[in-house]
Amino acid sequence: MTTFSEYPFLAELGLKEENAGVFNGKWGGKGDLIKCHNPTTGKVIATVRGATPEEYEECVQAMLAAKDKWALTPAPRRGEIVRLIGNAIRDKLVPLSKLISLEMGKIFIEAKGEVQEFIDVCDYATGLSRTINGQVIPSERPGHVLLECWNPLGLVGIITAFNFPCAVLGWNAAISMICGNVQLWKGASTTSLITLAITKIIADVLTANDVDPAICSTIIGPGRTVGEQMIQDKRFGLISFTGSTEVGRRISSVVHGYFGRTILELGGNNAVIVAEDANIDLAVRAVLFASVGTCGQRCTTCRRLFIHEKHYDAVVDRLKKAYQSVKIGNPLEEGVLVGPLHTQGAVKEYLEGLEEIKKQGGKIIQGGNKINVIEGGNFVEPTIVEINHDAPIVKTELFVPILYVMKFKNIDDAMAWNNEVPQGLSSSIFTNTHNNVFKWLGPTGSDCGIVNVNVGTSGAEIGGAFGGEKETGGGRESGSDSWKQYMRRSTCTINYSDSLPLAQGINFG
């Protein structure tokens, strides 16, 4: 039995108890039935009918039919459409945020921040649509000009994860659209209602502005079928994937096997260093949110905390007290700071991870239990563990609220420990010494894609490129010059003279 009628904001977003899970300008869905669960109660909210392999091909054909007209639309006009999408998302900010809390499980204020990221990146992309540019390069040949031209890739595939079911689509789609691409979005099956709600908003904007809505197609279905079709399809110029390193490795192997492009946003095993001269008040507040926010299910969650021996006991004691004061419960309820884990599988990962931690010499000093806050919910206690930095489990990302705390004496050791894991997404140091700051930012400092000083590991802004190194995949989304990944570059030589000199002074004649 579903609980759909208990949440009036679902109807406000155009959702029903039974929903079609394919959109390519028209709605469809003839595949498997997907039950959408509320992780707070374990109950079914609604159902979605996923895609068949045939419907996947229908989506691609609709996108191909819409591709050229959109690519030939002036970039500032494309930016205006993206601006209107951002405004439409803004109009639904509250119900979308409630839906994310309901179906994903993050608290309302975090969900609201996620929707705001989508809005912000639309504003950013609108401005970017008038500033995409290439270089004019001096030519060594008289009467010649060298130019860079940027053109759309064509078809872009976007595969997003459950933990940011709204924002990551925005980071990709807003930039991809102003670059002139058409895109197919596969959201996580466990957040299908969020995928559909956002698709409906975007489709309404495109239709109202006489743009073929197939340029933003959506397909819901299991990764082993729909996702596999996408990564095997050479018609896509780019596959952007957010998810686990294991799946990302498979996608990289397949797509790069036919010389396709990828943006991979994979695992993060992020560390914070609290140096001897750190502002402890600042550090404790930052680590608390970075470690327990979204119940430890952010790719930028703080999982490792290195504390100078001078401050170790004080910082650990304050964190334990802070953890004990965190209210755990229904993410839609005011005052709750930590909601449930997203699935029962994540609860299993939490419990099994703690058992392995104990086998490897780790000591649980706070939390460590599955708790029954609400009957049927996936609730666990945010947990602090003392462990050696070289324990094998520390190098493995557990996507649950477990924080490792470790003591150091030498700042160089702490920086080396930050870098010794396979992942390389986000990192932070708390220090007031400029020597530490610039070493941390330099070639022998953090090897991560996000390198912070006196702020936590999470909470990236859309204006900077988001992504990481090593097993995090090397991709970059959102700001800076990330737009270049969604376009192809041509170096163009124009001869406006009556002669034909060759480069490098070659005389062929």
Ordered DSSP codes for 69-138: HHHHS-HHHHHHHHHHHHHHHHHTHHHHHHHHHHHT---HHHHHHHHHHHHHHHHHHHHHTTT----EE-
CA dihedral 463, 465, 466, 469 (to 10 degrees): -160
Q: Is residue 450 within 8 Å of 418, Cβ to Cβ?
A: no
Q: Is residue 400 within 8 Å of 350, Cβ to Cβ?
A: yes
Q: State the Rg of the chain over Cα.
A: 24
- Which two tokens mark 223? 């990764």
Question: Tokens 């002074």 belong to which residue?
Answer: 505
| Annotation marks residue 58 as catalytic | no
SS3 406: strand
- Which two tokens mark 330? 């229904």
Residues linked to residue 403 through DSSP beta bridges, in sequence order: 384
Residue 436 vs residues 51, 309, 312, 469: alpha-carbon distances, Å: 53, 17, 19, 22
SS3 272: strand
Pairing of strands 487-495, 144-152: antiparallel
Q: How many CB atoms lie within 10 A of CB 234?
A: 10
The candidate with the shortest Cα–Cα distance to 402, out of 437, 378, 367, is 367
- The residue from 117, 265, 381, 471 that is catalytic is 265
**Angle value at C-alpha 116, between 111 and 118, nearest 5 degrees:** 105
Pairing of strands 426-430, 450-453: parallel
Residue 375 vs residues 42, 104, 308, 334: alpha-carbon distances, Å: 8, 17, 41, 19
Q: How many CB atoms lie within 10 A of CB 257?
A: 10
Q: Is residue 481 within 8 Å of 464, Cβ to Cβ?
A: no
Query: In sequence order, what are the residues at sequence separation of 6 or more whose Cβ sits closer than 8 angstroms to the Cβ of residue 162?
Result: 104, 188, 190, 191, 342
Distance CA 509, CA 506 (A): 9
Q: Is residue 499 within 8 Å of 149, Cβ to Cβ?
A: no
DSSP 8-state code for residue 336? -
Question: Tokens 């990564």 belong to which residue?
Answer: 231
List active site positions: 265
